[in-house]
Amino acid sequence: MLRMPSIFTRIISGEIPGKFVFKDERWVALLDITPANPGHVLLIPVAEVQYLNDLPGGTLAALGDRLTRLIAAVKKATGAPAVNVLVNDGSAANQAVPHVHLHLIPRFPGDRTLVHPKGTPYGDGELEHWATALQRAWA
């Protein structure tokens, strides 16, 4: 089945306009057109893959530098004292575009922007169960 390029790939290639913060050989950052707060930026790999764990090694290795520099830029430009970094890794996690992207959302005291719902505490024995299951999967 032929897969069409994602909207992000089309923006990166210049087919669709975007407001870029930066572009390099591995990563780009552009403004989200429906921001949670002004200055909401998307950090997107040039490589079109849906899941973080499918990113090429060099792209993944460069993520830390690009992310920390972009967080600093968002804080400086917006005056925000904090930033949410959000990844929806797959459609079940609310990933709207099947191309890895990280949301950097400037946060301000009292802005009431919800980015993470409150959960429910674990029941008896569940915390230990999930810790063990995840430790085994990590090994």
Q: Which residues are catalytic?
A: 101
- Coil, strand or helix at 102: strand
Please identify which residue in the block is written with the tokens 């990844």.
Answer: 87
C-alpha distances (whole Å) from 38 to each of 75, 76, 118, 122, 129 are 11, 13, 24, 36, 41
Q: 112: helix, coil or strand?
A: coil
- The answer to whether the beta carbons of residues 46 and 28 sit under 8 Å apart is yes
Residues for the chain: how many in total? 139
Q: Where are the alpha helices (DSSP H) in the chain?
A: 7-12, 57-78, 126-138
